[in-house]
Amino acid sequence: MGCGAAEWACPVNGCRRHRESGAERERRARTEAGGGMVGWEKGLRIRFEPGRCWLEEEDVDTPNRRVLITGATGLLGRSVYKEFKGNNWNAVGCGYSRARPMFEQVNLLDTTAVHNVIQDFQPHVIIHCAAERRPDVVDSQPDAASQLNVAASGNIAKEAAQVGAFLIYISTDYVFDGTNPPYKENDAPNPLNLYGKTKLEGEKAVLANNEGAAVLRIPILYGEVERLEESAVTVMFDKVQFNNKSANMDHWQQRFPTYVKDVASVCRQLAEKKMLVRYS
């Protein structure tokens, strides 16, 4: 018999509450406190019998390769999330101001929240897309940008190492000064703006805390946007769509716009290769 707890927590055949491990108890307490239980692979079934009705938990058939994506509400993260989800991965996306209702809301500056989400979900792979990537915002709020791009990245790397997750840190070609392209992996970085400097510091913080992590330095991105200013490619259209306005554009930079779906596919292929090496 149950112990008088709510029916869902205490099914007929015994009191689940009294069979839980410490970690399960901690997770349930967090859920009951409204904190959510990341990637919990249980479904609820309504059962009827003459005279009573109750909810029963049952296992749900979800893919067993787990990936956690930070910045899943952003231009790249949305595509990375879809790519993994569409290829039979159990994917959990984290966002911040735009997280609800689809994603976990996790402030990456909150080390306890980051610890909890990673410990709860136990991902095999983490794709760290979240960053402050707007150079003008980094210049105007350097401390906040450094907290997110450097300190939070180092902390995610440490947490990833603790659960043995393979981490991909998304970096940028802004770590180079552009004087001698094309660049190879071992070319010396020399960022010219503060954004590039914080991303390079982020790379170092990641590798110092997790030597098995991968750093992916990608160029300017384009893809499906929620707002034109989300991509440096489409933001131009915002400036020139009305012919009564003028806009300044430079005509000397050579850049290589890259489709977010291609980057997402590379992340998944890297993750799957790593899984093969590690678990076969």
Ligand X SMILES: NC(=O)c1ccc[n+]([C@@H]2O[C@H](COP(=O)([O-])OP(=O)(O)OC[C@H]3O[C@@H](n4cnc5c(N)ncnc54)[C@H](OP(=O)(O)O)[C@@H]3O)[C@@H](O)[C@H]2O)c1
Which residues carry out catalysis? 195
Quick one: 67 or 148, whose CB is closer to ligand X? 148
Q: Judged by CB under 6 A, does residue 118 bind ligand X? A: no
Q: Judged by CB under 6 A, does residue 108 bind ligand X? A: yes
Question: How is residue 32 written in tokens?
Answer: 């009951």
Cβ-proximal residue to ligand X, closest one? 74
What would the x/- binding string for ligand X be over residues 62 to 101, using CB under 6 A?
---------x-xxxxx-----------------xxxxx--
Binding to ligand X in span 189-218, by CB under 6 A: 199, 218
Question: How is residue 9 written in tokens?
Answer: 């927590």
Specify whether the CB–CB gap between 149 and 200 falls below 8 A: no
List 124, 133, 197, 268, residue binding ligand X (CB under 6 A):
133
Q: What is the DSSP string of 53-94?
A: EEEEEEE----S-EEEEETTTSHHHHHHHHHHHTTT-EEEEE
Q: Judged by CB under 6 A, does residue 116 bind ligand X? A: no
Sign of the CA dihedral 64, 169, 86, 115? positive
Quick one: 26 or 224, whose CB is closer to ligand X? 224
The site for ligand X, by CB under 6 A, has a size of: 28
| Distance (Å) of CA 156 to CA 68, 117, 187, 211, 215 | 11, 11, 26, 13, 13
Specify whether the CB–CB gap between 269 and 84 falls below 8 A: no
- Per the rule left: phi > 0, alpha: psi between -120 and 50, beta: everything else, 4 is left
Nearest approach, Cβ of 57 to ligand X (angstroms)? 30
Angle between helices 22-32 and 111-121 (to 10 degrees): 120
Binding to ligand X in span 144-173, by CB under 6 A: 148, 170, 172
Q: Judged by CB under 6 A, does residue 141 bind ligand X? A: no
Q: Judged by CB under 6 A, does residue 107 bind ligand X? A: yes
Task: Give contact residues for ligand X (rule: CB under 6 A).
Answer: 71, 73-77, 95-99, 106-109, 129-131, 133, 148, 170, 172, 199, 218, 220-221, 230, 232
